[in-house]
A and B are shown apart, each in its own frame.
Chain A
Amino acid sequence: DAKTTQPNSMESNEEEPVHLPCNHSTISGTDYIHWYRQLPSQGPEYVIHGLTSNVNNRMASLAIAEDRKSSTLILHRATLRDAAVYYCILRKTANAGGTSYGKLTFGQGTILTVHP
């Protein structure tokens, strides 16, 4: 499986932008880049995903390098509620039982601490 590399931890101040990097040098052409986050004692939550172009949604922006070997999740204004573990995942399309489906492989993620 293609692997992602993220810093173990990052810190930010409230109201400031946060850039969370992810390296995925072995990404294949059909892998989508997904980001999930996990707040303490909760299940993971989808944040954003992309393939080649930069993406924006209400939660964050995703900047994808031209060669797709890295990406950056951008939180425009961090809040205390954004403190979580952020996972960068390469979503592979798997096939089994005549079904095509997405398989998520979680790494260690980045622990984001937000200071008031």
Chain B
Amino acid sequence: NAGVMQNPRHLVRRRGQEARLRCSPMKGHSHVYWYRQLPEEGLKFMVYLQKENIIDESGMPKERFSAEFPKEGPSILRIQQVVRGDSAAYFCASSPEKTWEGRGEQFFGPGTRLTVL
């Protein structure tokens, strides 16, 4: 079984450009989470999505960032007008539709490392 896939693995953008990060969850998983890891820091939750719905975006910056998980295709994290402070590793995780209480294991992808010049 293929794991969580993210692409691109590395992305370089200049200030003001747009960055699009893609995440394909594991087969059979309909829950997707995005996390950001700034240099020398731990992972910070950004957003949780189910198919076609944003459930929790409490960790998402209010401006320039958006996420979607369409009925068909991968989840997309979009960053408009990138700034140097957006340089980070962005990880996507997925979990199955039915996760019994407590287990809630999330399966992480390898991440996309965004560098803003």
Contacts and interface: CB of A to CB of B under 8 A. Distances in A.
A101 B31 CA distance: 9
B9 to A, nearest CB: 10
B103 A49 contact: yes
B93 A43 contact: yes
| Interface band, chain B | 20 to 34
Interface stretch (B11-19, B38-46, B72-80): B38-46
Contacts of A25: none
Contacts of B104: 32, 34, 91, 101-102
B117 to A, nearest CB: 21
Interface stretch (A11-19, A63-71, A76-84, A92-100): A92-100
A106 B33 CA distance: 13
B106 A87 contact: no
A108 B91 contact: no
A43 B108 contact: yes
Contacts of B55: 96-97, 99, 101
Interface string B87-105: 0000101010001011111
A97 B95 CA distance: 17
B25 interface: no
Interface of A: 32, 34, 42-46, 49, 51, 87, 91, 93-94, 96-97, 99, 101-109
Interface of B: 4, 31, 33, 35, 41-45, 48, 50, 53, 55-56, 91, 93, 95, 99, 101-111
